């Protein structure tokens, strides 16, 4: 009988292909995040920057849909953005539905 791969296992396999220098700690954290919130590296939900996992806008939208949220407010963090090198940091707040 074939075992079904978990979201964490699939994301770890994809992450190892994309980022060859991931530490054991980074992979363990990825497994936790992917399993807990059903994020996928392959779907573009997470990215690895400066030794940490960050949720992309795609991941945030997917999470909001799964949690049936009613809105998202997004604003740029000007002190961290640099358009000259195409680096943009956004702060997003997700609003849950009342039901």
Q: What percent of the chain has pLDDT over 70?
A: 94
| DSSP code, position 60 | H
pLDDT band at 99 (very low <50, low <70, confident <90, very high): low
Instruction: Note the pLDDT tens digit of each residue in 4-14.
Output: 467 778 999 99
Name 15's Cβ contacts closer than 8 Å, sequence gap at least 6.
22, 27, 30, 41, 48
Which of the four pLDDT bands, split at 50, 70 and 90, describes residue 3?
A: very low
- Is the pTM higher than 0.85? The answer reads no
pLDDT for res 31:
94
pLDDT tens digits, one per residue of 49-66: 989 999 998 998 898 888
Report the C-alpha gap between 49 and 24 in whole angstroms.
16
Coil/strand/helix, residue 34: helix
From residue 12, give the alpha-carbon distance in Å to each of 43, 49, 59, 86, 94: 13, 15, 16, 27, 27
């Amino acid at each position: 009988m074939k075992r079904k791969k978990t979201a964490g296992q699939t994301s770890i396999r994809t992450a190892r292909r994309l980022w060859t220098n991931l530490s054991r700690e980074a992979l363990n954290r990825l497994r936790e995040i992917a399993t807990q919130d059903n994020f996928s590296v392959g779907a573009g939900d997470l990215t690895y920057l400066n030794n940490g996992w960050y949720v992309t806008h795609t991941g945030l939208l997917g999470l909001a849909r799964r949690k049936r949220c009613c809105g998202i407010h997004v604003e740029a963090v000007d002190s961290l953005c640099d358009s000259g090198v195409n680096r943009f940091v956004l702060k997003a707040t997700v609003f849950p539905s009342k039901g």
